[in-house]
Chains A and B, each alone.
Chain A
Amino acid sequence: MEDLSEQKPAPTTAWLWQALTGVGLIVLLALHMMTQHFIAEGGIRDFAGVADYLRNPIVVLLELLFLVTVTAHALLGVRSILFDLGLSARAETTVSRALLVVGILTVAYGMWLTWTITQQI
């Protein structure tokens, strides 16, 4: 089957990812809210609480997955709003690339922060 659109990422794909990350967030956000606020004593963890929480590698993995998903969904949303302006094809590619960079930096920051915290235990 041929490509319907030459653009990268293909518009249908972008929307699909938007929808999929959105659905994923229903679970991941609920998880994050529960473990960070409703289970945590006092509703928010102090430093010792955070360090303790991050000791579990599965927890780290889930929180990282949450960060990737929420960042992707958020930046795809920004892309959608910007594309509404009727940009040129070149501008659209630039915007997509710039947002990708922002996304990568955001996740990298999250990974760095997690590592920094666990180093301090």
Chain B
Amino acid sequence: MTLEVALKVFRYKAGQPARYDTFRVRVPHTASVLDAIEAAWAQHDRSLTFRHACHHASCGSCAMRIDGREKLPCITPVRDVWRGRGDLRIEPLRNFPIVSDLVVDVSGFFQRMSTSGMVITRTAESYLPVAAGAADGRPRDARSVTLPEGVARVNRFENCIECGICISACPTMAASDKFMGPAALAGIYRARLEAPDEAESTRLLGFADGEHGVWRCHSGWECTEACPQGVDPAGAIMLLRRDLVKHRIRKLFGR
């Protein structure tokens, strides 16, 4: 079974005004939006530029907006976002400069991510606690993991694939070029959990402070809403704030 979908794709090449092109493609009914975009490229216009690599939501390269909402097209079935009528709007992420068509400049994004000093790519990890009763520390079932001694649970911020979707969804990122952004702040939170000592933890907390750190977040929660990996950057920002307030109050009392 196939379906014929009309993609309305944002186009931009240097020196030309931006426009939308409509491509009609026939794809299997199980096709992802990325499949449809690739079909448009292959069958209609080889100058259509877009990023894609792993095709299974672990590299974060293909992030874009589908019908106005940030998504990873590689794991978004066409049937989920297109009701069989009208065009399916395909646009690049917001809040990044556009290089060409659906490709955006992510260099600033990665610069901010490197603030936390974390290794850029990690595979997703389970955050489930060590299974109770597994006295020898070995996992009781396939889903739980063995955690280091003294660690009861690991939170999911490791799941970040640096796709930039949260940046696109964030209303503050739109207005300010200086805001660190949800991904970098979530990265700082995660890095603090692994900090070797108090001094490093406090140093990282300092990055999260500042007028362009956590305090520029206005609780839109769009980042958490849009994140395809369940990282919950907004939750991380709120917990960083709690630590900052605690720090501030302790300082008030001279401790």
Contact = CB atoms under 8 A, between A and B. Distances in A.
B248 A84 contact: no
A28 to B, nearest CB: 23
Interface residues of A, number: 19
A86 B180 CA distance: 11
Interface string B189-208: 00000000000001001100
Contacts, number: 56
A10 B176 contact: no
B206 A5 contact: yes
Contacts of B209: 4-5, 10-12
A10 B248 contact: yes
A84 B220 CA distance: 13
Contacts of A13: 248
A58 B69 CA distance: 55
Interface string A68-86: 0000000000001001111
Interface in A1-46: 1-5, 7, 10-16
B170 to A, nearest CB: 11
Given A4-B206, A86-B179, A11 B213 contact: yes
A84 B212 CA distance: 8
Contact of B175 (A1, A2, A86): A86
A102 B248 CA distance: 27
Contacts of A83: 211, 216
Contacts of B247: 1, 4, 12
Given A4-B205, A83-B216, A12 B244 contact: yes
Contacts of A16: 245, 248
A84 B215 contact: no
Contacts of B215: 11-12, 14-15
Interface in B239-254: 241, 244-245, 247-248, 250-251
B79 interface: no
B45 interface: no
Contact of A86 (B178, B245, B255): B178
B250 A1 contact: yes
A44 B172 CA distance: 41
B125 interface: no
Interface in B52-69: none
Interface in B199-243: 202, 205-206, 209-213, 215-216, 218, 241
A3 B244 CA distance: 11
A3 B175 CA distance: 28
B202 A84 contact: no
A7 B210 CA distance: 7
Contacts of A86: 175-179, 212
12 contacts: A1-B251, A1-B255, A2-B202, A5-B209, A7-B211, A11-B211, A12-B215, A12-B244, A14-B215, A85-B175, A86-B175, A86-B179
Interface of B: 172, 175-179, 202, 205-206, 209-213, 215-216, 218, 241, 244-245, 247-248, 250-251, 255
